[in-house]
Structure 1
Amino acid sequence: MEFDDQMRRFFGTDDLGAVSPEGLASGIERMRVEFGLETDKGRRFAMWSLLYMLGSAPNLDVAFKDPQDGDAARTFMDLLDQANAGEADDRTP
C-alpha cells in the first residue's frame, strides 16, 4: 500500500494540513479498526507506520506477533527519530 493511497483512503487527501482535527481523528480511528482486521503483513506494517507518525500506533507487542516484524518496526522508529533529530539540528542557528 502506497503512502499517498493510505492518506487518500483514510483522510480523503494526501495533504494532512488540509484535514480538520475531526477528520484526522476519524481517519485515525478508521485506520486503527482496519489495522486490527488486516491480515497482510505488508499492509499492516504500512498502516502501523503511518499510525506511528501520527502518534496513534498500537504498542509493538500488541501490533506484531512475529518478532521479526517487531524488530522491523523498532528499526523504523529509530530511523524516523534520527531523521527528526537531524531536522531539529538543521534549524538550530
Structure 2
Amino acid sequence: MEYIQDTDLLTHAQSVGEYMRDQLREVTKTTDKLVDVRGRGMFTGAEFTDTEGESGKEPVKRVQNYCYNHGVLVWRAGLLGNVL
C-alpha cells in the first residue's frame, strides 16, 4: 500500500485509463463496429457490434486474437460476449 501511495499509482492508472478510452472513442467515429467505450481507472470496456447490428461476437474474437498474437491479453465480457 505504501508503494502505491508513494508512487501515486492511482493517479497514473486514472490518467492512462482516460487516455485509452479517449483513443478508443476516436475509433468509434471511424467504424460502426465499435459502438461504446466505458470504464474507470484502467478498467475499460469496448462494446462491439457486427455489420448487421447483432451481438458483435465475431469482431470481438478477431480483436482478441489479434491482441493475443501481439502480446496483449484481453478478455470477453458482456451478456452477449461482445465487450472487450
Task: Report the structure, 1 or 2, having the larger strand content.
Answer: 2
TM over 0.5: no
TM range (shorter): 0.3 to 0.5
TM-score (norm 1): 0.33
Higher helix share: 1
